Amino acid sequence: MKILSVTPLALPEIRVVRFARFPDLRGYFTESFNQEDFSGHPGLSFLSEQRFVQSNESYSRAGTLRGLHFQWDPPQGKLVRTLHGQMIDIVVDIRRGSSNQGRGIMYDLTSDEDREYGEWIWVPPGFAHGTWFPRASRIEYLCSAAYNPGAEGAITPLSEDVDWSLCDTTLRAQFRTFVASEALLMSDKDRAGMSLSNWLTDSRAREFRVQG
């Protein structure tokens, strides 16, 4: 696996890992994940204690909004990429003691077969995670812990008290238009998720703290 770059976003714990594709006249080949390369790369030391135990694939129709999900026992991080289509990744910091608590960002992970690279985005434990799909898309995500339905939570992505001051302004404007559309597709569970403020005052919120 040829790792090209590891880039922190406006929430610096969220990283984008760019890896090489090798194109020819037929298309391209890529090694999208290699545990040894991840473990040995100096820019990925933050993953040294993570072990990916599960790989999931999800398909979403155009207009779908999912999230904002998190799990505290065991703490679960996600390494996410778009296989086909366009995913806007949404992340909100929900850690107690964080200077960025309550702030959210978005990142456009569009799949383009003509690019000479692919991208993963790393969302560690302590961050609520969602996805928005302007067009029909398939994504893959690796999980650092097994799913535990008894220790998961959700903040609705429609929560009006998320601080988007760190978010890309173009994506934020597009998101406002998107959620106002009659074509918006959401599960009842995600619509009924907590507001950010309700979660932060919930006793379970203490499960997520800034480490160190």
Which residues carry out catalysis?
69, 141
Render the burial of 141-151: b for 16+ CB within 10 Å, e for the rest: bbbbbeeeeeb
Bridge pairing between strands 152-154 and 54-60: unpaired
- The CB density around residue 124, as the number of other CB atoms within 10 Å, is 22
- H-only helix segments in the chain: 35-40, 169-179, 188-191, 196-200
Q: How far is CA 12 from CA 124, 131, 201, in A?
A: 11, 19, 24
Confirm if 106 and 65 have CB atoms less than 8 A apart: no
